Amino acid sequence: AQEMITLAPGIEFRGARMRFERNEEIFGEDEGAEYVYRVASGAVRTMRFTADGRRQILGFHLPGDIVGLELGQVHTLSAEAVASSELVMVRRSVLDKAAAESTTIARALLTLTAKTLDQAREHAMVLGRKGASERVATFLLGLADRMPSNPDVDLPMSRADIGDYLGLTIETVSRSFSDMERQRAIALPSSRHVVMRSRMALVQLQAA
């Protein structure tokens, strides 16, 4: 099925829709970067590994987000489906050609990259300077802002994913959630369903 992939308001490309199952690899580090993807449904994680196999998740990507945009010929990170997801893919060559011919499109690519850079810096900030519950609170607030269903947040990812994103263990993430529930900042009807009870409390936790 042909679908549209939106790079920026008004800038669209035709692409093929493709389905990826839970934990299926979308592309790997050092693979050729032949396609660029847009998340249509589900959620995607991007990540890198240390030499000895430890995983660092660099970002979660929700519907509307662009994944796999690279400058070089190979991917500098890998991507997997967090849950069953549908992605729309466009050939790199198509994008490159369009960018070479249109200043507007080139500009959109730059804007996208710069936005991603800003996120990566904020992530570094969290990893370098915040304690466990601060990290989790920041994570929840960030996710909620990108979700339509605020203040109800459905987590597409496991505690392990969250841990690998925040530089924490599963257990510490779980404990932080429990603490936040005890403090009435959130409610946890189920482990994947968070209700933001007091955004203020979370904002406070985030900074503390």
Residue 46 or 133: which CB sits closer to DNA? Answer: 133
Give the up-direction half-sphere exposure of residue 122: CA atoms within 13 A in the CB hemisphere: 12
Q: Which of 56, 113, 174, 183 binds DNA (CB under 7 A)?
A: 174
Is residue 175 a contact point for DNA (CB under 7 A)? Answer: yes
x-or-dash string of contact with a copy of itself, 121-150, rule CB under 8 A:
xxxxx-xxxx--------------------
x-or-dash string of contact with DNA, 95-134, rule CB under 7 A:
------------------------------------xxx-
Residues in Cβ contact with 124 at an 8 Å cutoff, skipping those fewer than 6 apart: none
Residue 67 parent element (H or E): strand 66-67
Q: Which of 59, 142, 151, 167 binds DNA (CB under 7 A)?
A: 167
Q: Say how far apart CA 157 and CA 79 lie, in whole Å.
A: 14
Q: How many helices (H) and strands (E) does the chain have?
A: 6, 10
Residue in 44, 45, 37, 43 with CA at minimum distance from that of residue 18: 37
Q: Of 10-18, 69-77, 150-158, 171-179, which segment contacts a copy of itself by CB under 8 A?
A: 69-77
Residue in 33, 96, 126 with CA at minimum distance from that of residue 46: 33
Q: What are the residues binding a copy of itself (CB under 8 A)?
A: 48, 50-52, 54-56, 58, 70-72, 76-77, 100, 103, 106-107, 109-111, 113-114, 116-118, 120-125, 127-130, 164-167, 207-208
